[in-house]
Structure 1
């Protein structure tokens, strides 16, 4: 079977411990994930879910691997869009590698089908979420308040 893959890599001026905490602390997560948060025990075998500000479960699955503060692997299936849910389980691997004053964060999201509407969707979402995370950790504020702003900054009328 063929596979669809999305890879996102960034470098964040922080420590592996602070980045791990940011990736697993529900209250902190709401700041950079547009009010969304993950619920889990963050150990292998723990259930995992991504929850909207209104309590709707967007994705659900389980933690496959958890090696703080180095590696986190989550198996999940989308829950609220039928065409994405029909694709089945995906796998998201987050790897944290210290590099001087920064941490290299690599996210690899895969699903065993090609093409994949889910991978297309996450390829638009992950850069926004992780850009907000990077900015929040480095400057104390996010770069985007809304995942899909009504108009872009470049098209604003003065």
Structure 2
């Protein structure tokens, strides 16, 4: 019998924009840095491509690879934390972002999970994703973020 313990975080929001505009907002490094508290992705945006999230000072916060790439519908990242030893020791998680048209906007679902019970890493991202996605929604809809990056 195999143990399938898992920890996951799911966040769903609706953004008044188009699927193409939201997709670009997820992969354009300069746009991402505006809502991700100054952090910036560096990636080969294709299936199997490398992915990194860099702190504003250039250090690698997280790294992994693109495991799903279906513009403008689905983006999946195999993701490992690189700056906190206890999170790094947990290994790789999967972050799946799914976009679907909804009314005059787009339903964005983010599921971040790891194959282990009671993951401290998933508990940590559960606090971060709502801030990042609220900033993303606000930036696309109003042109400004709710929570600016504090240097």
> What is the TM-score when the length of structure 1 is the normalising length?
0.91
* Structure 1: 5+ residue stretches without partners: 148-158
SS at match of 1:45: coil
Aligned length: 147
Does the aligned pair in 1 maintain the 2:75–2:96 contact within 8 Å? Answer: yes
1:1-158 residue pairs with structure 2 within 5 A?
1-146=4-149
Highest relative contact order (Cα 8 Å, sep 6+), 1 or 2? 2
> What is the TM-score when the length of structure 2 is the normalising length?
0.95
**Higher Rg:** 1
* Structure 2: 5+ residue stretches without partners: none
